[in-house]
Structure 1
Amino acid sequence: MPDTGTAGRHPAQQGAAGDGRTRQLVARLLLEQGPITAAAVAEELGLSPAAVRRHLDVLVVEGEAWTRESSRRGRRGRGRPAKQFLLTEQGRARFGHAYDDLAASALRFLAEQSGQEAVRSFAERRMAALVAHHREALDSGRNPGERAEVLADALTREGYAASTRSVGAGEQLCQHHCPVAHVAADFPQLCEAETEAFAEVLGTHVQRLATIANGDAACTTHIPRPGARDRSETDPTPAGSVPTDQGETDEIPDGRESV
């Protein structure tokens, strides 16, 4: 039987394969935790900063990642802010945008034949099916915060790389990947149905702050803590901000300062 491992490979081939696996790990970390610095990537993966920067440079040159300066808020000392790395849409494609063109064509045909309301009905049915698959686990949460954690786990299993954290007067649900982002850019009904489904399963009003379909780094949803004042009626929170307990806001430029 032929050897399908690495033993028979030329050293250069083995090195290239190893580089490819490491670069995939670096790209996944940018997907799940971006924006993130090279030092943070190195620490997370247990690699040298020099090795990580080499992989990040390749991702940037190939158009799979881009950089920006980190926020000055909370930064100590002098000198330039640390550079942060995020995936581009091309970089996200590493993790699957299968059948985007086919799905978009199908929805365009549905809209032409039956109208935009038919697209919305499809979007709602799609989310209902996803929720139904995880309904038992979602119903086990005793409050919106607990259900948000269960929802993040469910979304991750569905390919959304989701996570939560406490922010200001509630929780923040972040989806670092969206399998239908390219289609949702043309059909916002998909994002609208998703937001409504989140409100239903969490049992509370939620506020969508950012979406990958709109060019943000993550789909970010604010979930108010029980008993917190609902600012959406009396003091609307600007898009890209999250209410805090002190009545201030934690700025989220372009939706990218998320989990």
Structure 2
Amino acid sequence: MALTGHPSTKEDILQHLLKRGHATAQALAESLEISPQAIRRHLKDLESEGAIVHRSVQAGMGRPQHVYHLSEVGRSRFPHHYDEFAVSLLDTLAETVGRDGVGQVLQKQWERKAIAYREQLGSGSLRERVANLVELRRAEGYMAELVELESSPEEPENRFVIAEYNCAISSVAESFPSVCGHELHMFATALPDCQVERTHWTIDGDNRCGYLIQAHRD
């Protein structure tokens, strides 16, 4: 939702981070003239909403400080027309090269993204790589959650579900639903030793997109 009307304290924090790039809780408290305790409560809420993220920075001999900055979700709360531009651009491209041509361009884009994901996921356990993937998706505005399914005699292997409650490309997906197929392939490419299946799809009316991930069986 875009920021309108009189800003709240949370909106003040988001605007400060948008202008400054990053800040500590203490710096925010001093700038906004609010107690550090109140600022930390707001920061905790904003982080749970996925609007901000933090990194730990060592300052001298003391405890590491949390430095906060906006996530893609946080940036999306300010007015913008990126989705409209992206859909308009793809429509123009479709008129020029046809929808099949657009599909080829999108497929190439997702292939590049899959390679980038694979490099960032590392070479750890399946659980570690899937958790890293969820963090990458959160940073991109997908409001992703990770669920580890319980094993059973019938399903002894580790199985995970990634649920995404916000689609960062929803406008594009509505006009060009083929991107969702490319996205599914992207996950499979980023996790080459896994089988990836779609369990839920917002385009079908679900409240989320869901992906079941499990290791390939011999």
Kindly provide the CA deviation profile for residues 69-102 of structure 1, in whole angstroms up to 9, marking residues without a partner as x.
xxxxxxxxxxxxxxxxxxxxxxxx6378741111
Superposition pairs for residues 58-77 of structure 1, below 5 Å?
Answer: none
Counterpart among 121, 127, 145 of residue 104 in structure 2:
121
User: Partner amino acid for 1:224?
Assistant: Q
Q: Is the 8 A contact 1:162 1:175 kept in 2?
A: yes
**Could you tell me how far 1:191 is from its partner in structure 2?**
0.9
Aligned partner of 1:211 in structure 2 is 201
User: Partner amino acid for 2:201?
Assistant: T
The whole-number CA distance in structure 1 between the counterparts of 2:43 and 2:204 is 25
Mean Cα deviation higher: 200-209 or 124-133: 124-133
User: Partner amino acid for 1:180?
Assistant: I
Kindly provide the CA deviation profile for residues 187-244 of structure 1, in whole angstroms up to 9, marking residues without a partner as x.
111111110010111122211122344443222111124549xxxxxxxxxxxxxxxx
Superposition pairs for residues 1-259 of structure 1, below 5 Å?
Answer: 17-18=8-9, 29=48, 94=77, 98-143=81-126, 145-167=127-149, 169=155, 170-203=159-192, 204-227=194-217
1:154–1:27 CA distance, 2 compared to 1 (3 A):
closer
User: Partner amino acid for 2:115?
Assistant: A
The whole-number CA distance in structure 1 between the counterparts of 2:166 and 2:205 is 12
Q: Is the 8 A contact 1:172 1:221 kept in 2?
A: yes
The whole-number CA distance in structure 2 between the counterparts of 1:161 and 1:129 is 22
The whole-number CA distance in structure 2 between the counterparts of 1:194 and 1:148 is 15
Aligned length: 154
Q: Is the 8 A contact 2:94 2:102 kept in 1?
A: yes
Kindly provide the CA deviation profile for residues 114-135 of structure 1, in whole angstroms up to 9, marking residues without a partner as x.
1222222222222233333343
TM-score normalised according to structure 1 size: 0.49
SS of residue paired to 2:141: coil
Structure 1: tracts of 5 or more residues without a match: 1-12, 33-92, 229-259
1:97–1:196 CA distance, 2 compared to 1 (3 A):
farther
TM-score normalised according to structure 2 size: 0.56
Q: Is the 8 A contact 1:149 1:164 kept in 2?
A: yes
1:19–1:96 CA distance, 2 compared to 1 (3 A):
closer
1:205–1:95 CA distance, 2 compared to 1 (3 A):
farther
User: Partner amino acid for 1:114?
Assistant: V
Q: Is the 8 A contact 1:123 1:190 kept in 2?
A: yes
**Could you tell me how far 1:158 is from its partner in structure 2?**
2.4
Kindly provide the CA deviation profile for residues 25-66 of structure 1, in whole angstroms up to 9, marking residues without a partner as x.
86875679xxxxxxxxxxxxxxxxxxxxxxxxxxxxxxxxxx
The whole-number CA distance in structure 2 between the counterparts of 1:132 and 1:178 is 21
Among all aligned residue pairs of Structure 1 and Structure 2, give the percentage whose two residues are the same amino acid: 27
The whole-number CA distance in structure 2 between the counterparts of 1:202 and 1:95 is 34
Q: Is the 8 A contact 1:174 1:220 kept in 2?
A: yes
